[in-house]
Amino acid sequence: MRLVVLLLTAWVAVGCTPASNTASAKGGGGTSATPTPSATAVTPNAVVVAHVDGDTLKVNIDGVTETVRLIGIDTPETKKPGTPVECFGKEASAHLAALVPQGMPVRLERDVEERDRYGRLLVYLYRATDGLFVNLAMVTDGFAAQLTIPPNVAHVDEFRQAAAEAREAGRGLWGSCGGAHSPT
C-alpha cells in the first residue's frame, strides 16, 4: 500500500495523468501503448546521439549525454565482453538505429527504477515525431525478446503478447535463430 501511495505521489508530482501520458505505437504492428501509473515521464527534450546495440543507446538530455537501456526487452548480444556476437544481434542493432537514427528527438519515460546496476537510465522510448513506442516495436518486429525485471512492469502484458505473436509468425530472430541468445 505504501508503494502505491509513493508511486501515485511521484506520478502527480511530475504532472502526469493517465490521459496526458499516453502514446500510440504507430507502425511496429499498430498496437496502442498506454502507460500505467507506475511509468513516469523523464523528459521530452532528448535526442539520440549514438547506438550501443539493439537495446541500449546514448541520448542527449538537455546537454547531458546518458546511456539508456530499453526496459522490458532484450536483444541478442553484440558487445558483451567474453560473449560471442549472437544470432540476429547485428540486425537488432541496425533495426534500433533505423527506428531512432542519430539526431532524432525522442521522449523518455521511466518505470519504478531509474537506473540499472550498470548506471544506465532505464526507459521506455518513444519517437517524438510520431509517438512510436520503440521498445514495443523492437519486440513486435521480431528484433527483441521480452525481458521482465520487476519492479519495472508497466508494459509487461504488451511485450508478452507482441513476443508471442512475433515468435508464432517467425518474424526476425524467431525465424532466423529460433529465439534470442542463440550463437551465430
Enumerate the active-site residues.
69, 77, 120
User: Contact, 27 vs 33, CB < 8 A?
Assistant: no
* DSSP H or E stretch at residue 106: strand 105-110
Single-letter code of the amino acid located at 17: T
On the 0-12 / 13-18 / 19+ scale of CB atoms within 10 A, 127 is buried
- Helix, strand, or coil (residue 153): coil
* Separation of alpha carbons 47 and 59, rounded Å: 5
Single-letter code of the amino acid located at 116: D
Residue 17's DSSP bridge partners are: none
Q: What is the Cα 173 distance to its own chain's centre?
A: 17
Helices (H), the chain: 2-13, 89-99, 134-140, 156-169, 173-176
By C-alpha distance, which of 98, 111, 105 is closest to 159? 111
